[in-house]
Amino acid sequence: MDSHDEYRASVQRIAGEIRRYAPPDIGERFAASSGFRPASFLTFPSAFDGAVCAVDGSNALLADGGSFAVAAIRASASSYRGGTRQCRVTTPLYTVAVHQGGCNEDFAALFSDCFASLPKAPLEHDDPVRNAAVMRDTLEYWVAMEMAENLDAGDLILIDGTLRVRHASHDEILVRLMNLCSLRGILLAAVTKRTALTWGGGHPIVPATEGLARKLAVPEPWAVRISGRDDLVDREVSHPWKQRGEQYITRLHRRSPRAFKVEVPGHMNRDMVEQTFSGLAAYADDGRITGYPYPLLEAHLTTKIGKDTVDQVRQDLMQGMAEQGMSHVDYIQYFGDYHDEFDRY
């Protein structure tokens, strides 16, 4: 077999695995396994009187010398009422260091600045991208807490991700955020663009739920609760931190290209859940990304650390190194990437 034949064979093999992963009758199979009926689906109006405040963060690796790396992080919030943006806030752009050995002192300092206490669990210096993501999460939780202090009862906070933390130090912060929202009557939801949840030994649960909703002719917008279905959802073994929210699959607009997962705090009653999903649906009619809450899109676009920003911060970093008596040659020696050279050819 020549190289082209080997390539085509590998593509066909993967295509076959995808077909087994997502069989054509996935909706019918899910119907038999789940026992969901039309009454299992929550339907709700696309209307919301309160404010919707979306929080998102961004991180980017600026320089990586293997044993020492530098990243940039920030977080933003965009708040809307009546379809009109009321405010937009962004944290400063922070540069943080990640190096081999010990605990990340930048994380401890940032955590202390945000929450007036030291983290209960240190952040070990290991993977630069993960370290940057954990520090970005710190800013996101801080911004969400600030918004929860200033919104009114009945308003809705959206965070990008899940109600499950990636680092132990954030567990108490997430609980504090949820308690603050509960105390002040503020709704809270975490929106996940992509989920690893499966059922039936590895089938994706989101398209299976969509297929079942079509089979049952459930009108959009709809949501169905999948938490508490240990008989249905495959056991998660890769997430050590406690699940703080109730999980739903939802489709917020009839023209949405896909459904997605949303998590809400477990203390919310049915009326609060309906209000939350009504708020999500009320802001899911933007033509740029129909079916996805556009306050989260705006928060993402606001906080995104793009190439221009990365290039500027790198220039500022080199200037700072020059003030320390280091040259451009030193920068290349410590942080030069051969892939940058490869890309020239």
Least confident range of 75-89, 195-209, 228-242? 228-242
Q: Looking at the predicted structure, is the pLDDT value of residue 330 above 90?
A: no
Least confident range of 62-71, 151-160, 236-245? 236-245
- Could you give the CA distance from residue 96 to residue 104 in angstroms, rounded to a whole number? 9
What contacts 295, CB < 8 A, 6 or more positions away? Answer: 52, 53, 54, 78, 79, 80, 158, 283
pLDDT digits (tens, 9 = 90+) for 16-65: 999 999 999 999 999 999 999 999 999 999 999 999 999 999 999 998 88
Q: What is the pLDDT of residue 95?
A: 93
pLDDT digits (tens, 9 = 90+) for 236-255: 544 545 678 899 999 999 99
- Could you give the CA distance from residue 166 to residue 307 in angstroms, rounded to a whole number? 26
Q: Looking at the predicted structure, is the pLDDT value of residue 285 above 90?
A: yes
pLDDT digits (tens, 9 = 90+) for 160-185: 999 999 899 999 999 999 999 999 99
Q: How much is the average pLDDT of 72-98?
A: 94
pLDDT above 90: percentage of residues in the chain? 72
Q: Looking at the predicted structure, is the pLDDT value of residue 221 above 80?
A: yes
Q: What is the pLDDT of residue 228?
A: 85
Task: Estimate to the nearest angstrom the gap between the alpha carbon of 206 and the chain centroid.
Answer: 16
Q: How much is the average pLDDT of 307-330?
A: 90
Strands 156-160 and 187-192: what pairing? Answer: parallel
Helix (H) or strand (E) holding 88: strand 84-90
Q: How much is the average pLDDT of 74-83?
A: 96
Quick check: 76 and 303 in contact, CB under 8 A?
yes
Least confident range of 36-45, 105-114, 287-296, 324-333? 324-333
DSSP state of 46: S
Q: How much is the average pLDDT of 199-216?
A: 93
Q: What is the pLDDT of residue 238?
A: 42
Domains of the chain: 42-303 (3.30.420), 316-342 (no CATH)
Q: Looking at the predicted structure, is the pLDDT value of residue 71 above 80?
A: yes
- Could you give the CA distance from residue 338 to residue 332 in angstroms, rounded to a whole number? 10
